[in-house]
Structure 1
Amino acid sequence: MAELESHTISSGKTVFVARDEVERGAKGPFFIVYSTEDAESRWGYRCGNCDSFDTAMDTMGRVECTVCSNVRKPEEWDAAHE
């Protein structure tokens, strides 16, 4: 099992970043973040470009950092959605 880094976010909650679980973004990687230390419950992403936890995902699976605009393209893309 991967080693997780614990971080306390602005709400006071502790989350766990898996530095070895990444998804490619335009400006830097997105690291998978878990809400539990055993990595059973996925919480979100941490932007590898600016280290922010403030990310958003849309219904197509596109992830965007709201601080630096780092973007991960959707896993499945359909031109009909443009």
Structure 2
Amino acid sequence: MELEVVETPAGALYVDRANGERGEKAPFFHVYADEAGETRWGYFCGNCETVNNAMDSMGRIECNECGNIRKPEEWDAAHE
């Protein structure tokens, strides 16, 4: 796995642009805390290139910078 180093306020993180989750504007790529890709850290927004995003308990990811969003895989009206 080849990881790209990105500098963030949290320090250096490692983005795997080969793996990610589909977003409305662009994919959310997996981010790791270590070069080996063993410790998952979160997601990197492919639209605005930031790690400033949030995930809720249903698996929805939303970028706090550009509003890119990944809807939950399973949606139930009872959760709203």
Question: Which bin holds the TM-score, normalised by the shorter protein?
Answer: over 0.9
Aligned partners of 2:21 and 2:72: how far apart in 1?
Answer: 11
Q: CA deviation at 1:23?
A: 0.7
Within-5 A mapping of 1:1-82: 2-11=1-10, 13-82=11-80
Please provide the CA RMSD for this pair: 0.9
What is the identity, as a one-letter code, of the residue corresponding to 2:39?
S
% identity of equivalent residues: 56
1:40 is matched by which residue type in structure 2?
A: E
Tell me which amino acid in the other structure corresponds to 2:46: G
SS at match of 1:45: strand
Structure 2 Cα separation of the partners of residues 32 and 75 of structure 1: 17
Aligned-partner Cα distance in 2 for 1:22–1:49? 13
Q: What is the TM-score with the length of structure 1 in the denominator? A: 0.92
* Secondary structure class of the residue paired with 1:80: helix
Q: Aligned partners of 1:25 and 1:19: how far apart in 2?
A: 14
Aligned length: 80
